[in-house]
């Protein structure tokens, strides 16, 4: 199981860097908030869901709202601009989360409730 997962992640990394989509979004984010990445890409790819689950419980049940850990901060940093200069929502396949989740075929549950555009989430 672990072997399959590593293979998939490696293949994804290759595909994504080839596409340059993710790099483009990250370039903007790192320009806005230099040195404030939550973690390196490899760690994020492997653990972002656990981080999200952990933080949502902290925020929801304990009322902890660190500004750099909110979903809004994630969306701000990872915003992908569309043709009109506005950030795309999850309805668009260029949305940061979808670039990976579409090819991994993992359904994103977050945006059934959360607004997927930056500035609209806290």
Question: Which among 17-25, 29-37, 39-47, 57-65 is the span making contact with other proteins, rule CB under 8 A?
Answer: 57-65
The stretch among 39-47, 61-69, 78-86, 95-103 that binds other proteins (CB under 8 A) is 61-69
Tell whether residue 48 is a contact of other proteins (CB under 8 A). Answer: no
Subset of 5-44 contacting other proteins (CB under 8 A): none
Least spacing, CB of residue 110 vs other proteins, in Å: 8
* Residue with the two structure tokens 């989430």: 121
- How large is the angle between the packed helices 2-19 and 21-32, nearest 10 degrees? 80
| Alpha-carbon distance values, 117 to 2, 25, 34, 68, 73 (Å) | 33, 14, 21, 16, 11
């Amino acid at each position: 199981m672990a072997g399959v997962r590593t293979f998939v992640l490696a293949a994804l990394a290759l595909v994504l860097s080839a596409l340059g989509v993710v790099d483009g979004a990250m370039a903007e984010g790192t320009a806005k908030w230099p040195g404030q990445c939550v973690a390196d890409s490899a760690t994020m790819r492997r653990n972002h869901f656990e981080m999200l689950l952990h933080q949502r419980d902290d925020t929801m049940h304990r009322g902890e709202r660190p500004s750099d850990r909110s979903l809004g901060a994630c969306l701000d940093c990872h915003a992908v601009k569309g043709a009109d200069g506005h950030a795309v929502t999850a309805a668009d396949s260029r949305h940061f989360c979808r670039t990976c989740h579409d090819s991994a075929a993992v359904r994103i549950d977050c945006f059934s409730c959360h607004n997927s555009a930056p500035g609209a989430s806290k």
